[in-house]
Amino acid sequence: MLAALESHSPTMLEVTHHALMRGRQMPLADCFRMELGIVYRAIDDGDFIEGVRALIIDKDERPRFAPNTLAQVRAERVQHFLSSPWRKEMHPLADLRA
């Protein structure tokens, strides 16, 4: 299991941990809104593209994530992924009820 985790983006592992901790205290609708924002940011400016390159395009299975260790992941970067890219009233799931 550790090997599987070590093959994933350190940034996204940290974001996932923080999202799970936050989500424990949130209504389901807010969890869905948070997760959509995380996915949007991961595709837009996260390690998603590098993971696709390493596994599907080049098939070298050696992603070059930035940063490449958990210790190098900055709290500001994690917060970036956890903050919504949309204003509250403009969120695609704004009308979703708990």
* Model confidence pLDDT, tens digit, residues 86-96: 999 999 999 99
In a domain, 97, yes or no: no
Cβ 5 vs Cβ 69: under 8 Å: no
- 4 pLDDT exceeds 90? no
State which amino acid sits at residue 3: A
Distance CA 82, CA 93 (A): 16
Is 56 a domain residue? yes
Q: What is the pTM of this model?
A: 0.89
User: Which pLDDT tens digit goes with each residue over 39-80?
Assistant: 999 999 889 999 999 999 999 999 999 999 999 999 999 999
Tokens of 14: 């940290």
Q: Is residue 23 part of a domain?
A: yes
Question: Distance between CA atoms of 93 and 85, rounded to whole angstroms?
Answer: 12
How far, in Å, CA of 45 to CA of 80, rounded? 10
* Residue-range definition of the domain harbouring residue 37: 2-90
Q: Residue 28's pLDDT is what?
A: 96
Average pLDDT, the chain: 93
- Total domain count, the chain: 1
Q: Using 50, 70 and 90 to split pLDDT, how confident is the model at 7?
A: confident
Within a domain: 98: no
Residue 95 lies in a domain: no
Q: Is residue 18 part of a domain?
A: yes
In contact, 82 and 18? CB cutoff 8 Å: yes
Instruction: Confirm whether 10 is domain-assigned.
Output: yes
For residues 22-48, give the mean pLDDT.
Answer: 95
